[in-house]
Amino acid sequence: MIDARTQGILSNTLTLAKQLGAIVFTYKGEDIVRTLLQFAKEYRVGHIVIGSPRPRSLWEKIRGRIGIVDRLIHEAKGITVTILDTREEDHPRVQRSVENEEALTTAPHVIAPADRLTLPQLISPERIVIWNKAVAKEVVLKTLVERMGHGKGVWDSARLLNAILEREQQGSTFFNEGTALPHARIDGLSRSMVSLGFTRQGVSDEPTEKPIELVFLILSPAQDPDEQIRILALASRASQSRHLRQTLQSCQTPDDVMTAICNWDWEERPMIRPTRPVTPNEKEKNQ
């Protein structure tokens, strides 16, 4: 259990992260350091930022107990660990960055227009489900997984659902912002797929601050973890669009939802305006 002050600090930090566009996950584990590093490995995290540790007591020093930050620095391989001075003192805050000797730094991948990943590439009307009444989480997940193989009968729905549920056990992806991003990486999957659920009355058995409206169920190839991250970011950006959410409220069919998503995607694309040719009269005026 954590005290009310710590809960308040944690709540304010999460709120700020969401306002800045971050995807906030919860992840369960018995050992904090191992859980952090497991999450970092799964989501290709290359940089961990953590607050300064509390001073160790004399008893902890005598027993040789190693703190979380020291363990994280020692055990993080290929990850840069940045420690922020979060102590409440009157001196300017400084930060200490510890980079493991084996860490490899690479420039962030910038998606060029040619290989830009889009939701219309990943979703089709056959993979869109609309619920006009409140629906249970299990029904949502099972239905969206079944829609992945709609009309094909290729995929084992039970296997896919089990992979999604295993990820949910690590920490729910049904967030307080009214969005859910259940996801899993699947061995043998050749390309990523997304199914979308739109719930007008929310998910009945998920106690979130805001009723869940959008559920993006994401399956991606196990051998390409970077693509999963790109899709999660894409779905998160779509769910944060107030205009898209408002448009979806008036959608009656999966085709309507698909049209709304395509329009949102078009508005999100970088505008490249062709240069208007200069007329002979304009050339004379400029001379």
Mean pLDDT in consecutive groups of 10 residues from the start of the chain, 287 residues: 67 66 71 84 80 66 70 84 70 45 37 66 95 95 87 70 91 85 90 94 88 94 88 90 93 96 86 47 51
Task: Classify 115-268 by CATH class.
Answer: alpha beta
CA 177 remoteness from chain centre: 12
What radius of gyration do the chain's Cα atoms show?
23
Give CA–CA dist 105/95, Å, rounded.
19
Could you tell me which residues come within 8 angstroms of residue 81 by beta carbon, excluding any fewer than 6 positions away? 48, 50, 69, 72, 73, 97, 98, 99, 100
Paired with 215 in beta bridges are 180, 197
Contact 168, 137 (CB under 8 A): no
Instruction: For the chain, report the end-to-end CA distance as a whole number of angstroms.
Output: 77
**pLDDT value at residue 16:** 67
Paired with 195 in beta bridges are 217
**pLDDT value at residue 210:** 86
pTM (whole model) above 0.75: no
**pLDDT value at residue 160:** 92
Q: What would the DSSP string read from start to end of 145-206?
A: HHHHTTTT--S-HHHHHHHHHHHHHHS--B-TTSEE--EEEETT--S-EEEEEEESS-BTT-
**pLDDT value at residue 99:** 47
Going by DSSP bridges, is the β-strand pair 193-199/128-131 parallel, antiparallel, or unpaired?
A: parallel
What the block records as the tokens of 133 is: 């009444």
The beta-strand segments (E) located in the chain are 47-51, 80-84, 95-99, 128-131, 179-180, 183-186, 193-199, 214-221
**pLDDT value at residue 93:** 45
Give CA–CA dist 79/72, Å, rounded.
10
One-letter amino acid of 71? R
One-letter amino acid of 204? S
**pLDDT value at residue 240:** 87
**pLDDT value at residue 284:** 52
**pLDDT value at residue 101:** 39
